[in-house]
Amino acid sequence: MKLIFSTIALIPALALSGCAPASAKKKSLNLGIAVYDGDDTFIASITEELSELAEADGVHYTIRNADHSQLTQNEQVKDMIDDGMNVICVNLVDRTSTSAIINTAMKNEIPVIFFNREPVESDITRWEHLYYVGSDPEESGRLQGQIAAAYLSQHPEADRNGDGQIQVYVLEGEPGHQDAIVRSESSVTTLQNAGVRIDKIGYSICDWNRKEARTEVARLIQEGTEAELFLCNNDDMAAGAVDAYEAAGISQDDRPLIAGIDGTSVGCELVQNHALIGTVYNDYKGQAAAIYQLATALSGNGEMPELTDSHYITLPYQKITPDNVSQFQ
């Protein structure tokens, strides 16, 4: 069971418990950050927060974009270590392919903080200085399902064809990605558990990407889709679905319901405008604060946050609807 942090206060809350490891000697923090795709809106939000925290403290940092290539990311991590980075933060391209990064880190005795894409447990427990900061994908899907179920209970007219069930179409992040699989399954199961009769009519892999989602949904519109609810694994794909309906000249009143996940600025704006029925806030600020707190402690310059099983920090999600979206903007 991974620890869930409350993030009412960010860095101060993380610093309340734990202490710097006895083996850590105080040294300048040189922070290396490696991401799978720098154009991913949510990942960009985390790296921007990390950049601001580092700059406020005068910490040297560097960011590398692997552009969806694990081989490229492996080389980038090696290069950052060679360049003197003494804590590495990695948003993996492939969560099942960590051996090269871990082997390089262990050889050079450089701690690694994985974030957003969780390594397999048997990998992260290989060495005491491997960590993971993120959120529980099952929770995000469950909250998305709850948002949709609550809306449907108040809006029976969402069953446009009057067949007594909701035709659901899922826009998934990428094939084989743990978060995509779990989010999709959890959201659909939550709807069913809430008593909503569902007809899952299909899914499309859109790689977390707004343009790909727009293209796919435009195709569905042209084919005369019967979808009454789009469950999207992230806000970028939800925005792409909105784009497709706007380009087709279909008014909001005549569109299927669309729900997102991540609570990005784009997602929140669409919720505020009622283009989305809701999204789920993935606490990028809290995650960035936890990553930075941990990195600072690993360089011997601060207190260690409390960890679960010596390796994990997990932050909670929150539901965003038109009723509370202003709190997240």
Structure tokens at 208: 């977390």
Report pLDDT for 7.
38
Rg (CA), the chain: 21
Longest dimension (CA), the chain: 67
CB 158 within 8 Å of CB 166: yes
Tens-place pLDDT, residues 103-144:
999 999 999 999 999 999 999 999 999 999 999 999 999 999
CB 304 within 8 Å of CB 294: yes
Report pLDDT for 175.
87
**What's the pTM value of the predicted model, to 2 decimals?**
0.88
Neighbours of 327 (CB within 10 A): 10
Tens-place pLDDT, residues 246-301:
999 999 999 999 999 999 999 999 999 999 999 999 999 999 999 999 999 999 98
Question: Can you tell me the distance from the alpha carbon of 101 to that of 75, in angstroms, rounded to the nearest whole number?
Answer: 9
Report pLDDT for 25.
63
Q: Choose among 97, 76, 100: nearest CA to 88.
A: 76
Which is it for strands 279-282 and 317-320: parallel, antiparallel or unpaired?
antiparallel
Report pLDDT for 168.
98
Question: Can you tell me the distance from the alpha carbon of 218 to that of 246, in angstroms, rounded to the nearest whole number?
Answer: 10
Report pLDDT for 24.
52
Domain 11-136+283-316 and domain 138-281 have a common topology: yes
Report pLDDT for 27.
77
Report residues of the chain scoring pLDDT below 70. 1-25
Please state the CATH superfamily assignment of the domain spanning residues 11-136+283-316 in this structure.
Answer: Response regulator (3.40.50.2300)
Q: What is the DSSP letter of 63?
A: E
Domain residues of the chain, as ranges?
A: 11-136+283-316, 138-281
The second-level CATH assignment, the architecture, of 138-281 is: 3-Layer(aba) Sandwich (3.40)
Neighbours of 221 (CB within 10 A): 18
